[in-house]
């Protein structure tokens, strides 16, 4: 199969969202002086990650709104702090600071820079497809140096729907002008990236970062290292 256009997920496919967020969360903990309320910082960190993953899963399914996610992912872990009253205003302050800290981190997933240089050199048209927040994604793209690699930036807020919905992928085709019979999706999230693309009729490359957990159903290609994509495209 000859491909001309690549739809590429951003967070945790190219951009080390988790690694950068760990750093930013530590900085936020210090900024808010949360050691006044938590005898063990791990209580805050562990609950944040559990809450964040759950809410992003719900957000992708359209079960919660952006504003709810922004507040609740901090309200719940902060509520575990002794004597801390996480009002909406306080949670919004925490979220704003956290996003400002995250968005300036440059860290990429191992192999991402090499892959993007390779794909650009091969002449592929590349379109970023993300459920991330509009203002944050553009900052992250510029911070990590990948902004100019993409022909189009396609975000769920602009599409009016999240991956894996058909509406998102229809919007991606409309904005990119990519031919459906020569486009391929690359992503690390099986449910939002791979299943969504498959339902939209796209071939896929599943970047599975956890080799002990193979894809639950057939995918076009599966890799465990981004550099392995260079052997496919």
Q: Domain holding 194: CATH number? A: 3.40.50.1000
Q: What angle do CA 109, 168, 125 make, to 5 degrees?
A: 55
Domain hosting 131: range is: 5-16+107-231
Same domain, yes or no: 12 and 26: no
**Per-residue pLDDT at 62:** 87
Secondary structure string (H, E, C) spanning the chain? CCCCEEEECCECCCECHHHHHHHHHHHHHHHCCHHHCCCCHHHHHHHHHHHHHHHHHHHHCCCCCHHHHHHHHHHHHHCCCCCCCCCHHHHHHHHHHHHHHHCCCCCECCCHHHHHHHHHHCCCEEEEEECCCHHHHHHHHHHHCCHHHCCEEEEHHHHCCCCCCHHHHHHHHHHHCCCHHHEEEEECCHHHHHHHHHHCCCEEEEECCCCCCCCCCCCCEEECCHHHHHHCC
- The end-to-end CA distance of the chain, in Å, is 10
Same domain, yes or no: 10 and 21: no
Same domain, yes or no: 80 and 166: no
Structure tokens at 205: 């490359």
Task: Among 102, 125, 160, identify where a domain stops.
Answer: 102
Domain total for the chain? 2
Task: Among 84, 102, 120, identify where a domain stops.
Answer: 102
Same domain, yes or no: 121 and 147: yes
Task: Among 33, 67, 102, identify where a domain stops.
Answer: 102
Same domain, yes or no: 159 and 224: yes
Same domain, yes or no: 132 and 225: yes
Which phi and psi (to 5°) does residue 228 adopt? -65, -20
Same domain, yes or no: 194 and 145: yes
Give every CB contact of residue 224 below 8 A, 6+ residues apart in sequence: 207, 208, 209, 211
Same domain, yes or no: 36 and 148: no
Q: What angle do CA 181, 182, 183 make, to 5 degrees?
A: 105
Contact criterion met (CB below 8 Å) for 163 and 60: yes
Same domain, yes or no: 55 and 165: no
pLDDT by residue, tens only, the chain of 233 residues: 799 999 999 999 999 999 999 999 999 999 999 999 999 999 999 999 999 999 989 988 889 998 999 899 999 999 999 999 999 999 999 999 999 999 999 999 999 999 999 999 999 999 999 998 888 999 999 999 999 999 999 999 999 999 999 999 999 999 999 998 999 999 999 999 999 999 999 999 999 998 888 888 879 999 999 999 999 99
Structure tokens at 88: 């909406």
Same domain, yes or no: 175 and 117: yes
Where b means 16+ CB within 10 Å and e means fewer, 121-137 reads: eeebbbbbbbbbbeebb
Same domain, yes or no: 162 and 54: no
**Per-residue pLDDT at 215:** 83
Same domain, yes or no: 216 and 158: yes
Which phi and psi (to 5°) does residue 105 adopt? -80, 135
């Amino acid at each position: 199969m000859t491909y001309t256009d690549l739809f590429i997920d951003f967070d945790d496919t190219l951009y080390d969202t988790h690694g950068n967020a760990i750093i930013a969360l530590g900085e936020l903990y210090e900024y808010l002086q949360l050691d006044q309320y938590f005898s063990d910082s791990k209580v805050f960190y562990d609950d944040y990650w559990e809450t964040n993953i759950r809410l992003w899963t719900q957000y992708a399914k359209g079960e919660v709104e952006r504003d709810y996610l922004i507040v609740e992912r901090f309200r719940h872990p902060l509520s575990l702090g002794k004597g801390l009253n996480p009002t909406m205003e306080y949670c919004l302050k925490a979220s704003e600071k956290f996003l400002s800290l995250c968005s300036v981190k440059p860290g990429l997933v191992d192999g991402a820079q090499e892959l993007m240089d390779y794909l650009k050199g091969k002449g592929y048209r590349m379109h970023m497809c993300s459920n991330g927040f509009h203002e944050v994604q553009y900052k992250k793209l510029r911070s990590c140096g990948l902004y100019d690699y993409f022909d189009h930036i396609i975000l769920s807020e602009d599409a009016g729907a999240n991956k894996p919905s058909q509406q998102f992928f229809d919007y991606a085709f409309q904005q990119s002008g990519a031919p459906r019979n020569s486009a391929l999706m690359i992503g690390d999230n099986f449910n939002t990236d791979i299943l969504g693309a498959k339902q939209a009729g796209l071939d896929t490359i599943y970047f599975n970062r956890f080799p002990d957990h193979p894809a639950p159903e057939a995918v076009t290609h599966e890799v465990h290292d981004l550099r392995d994509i260079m052997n496919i495209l």
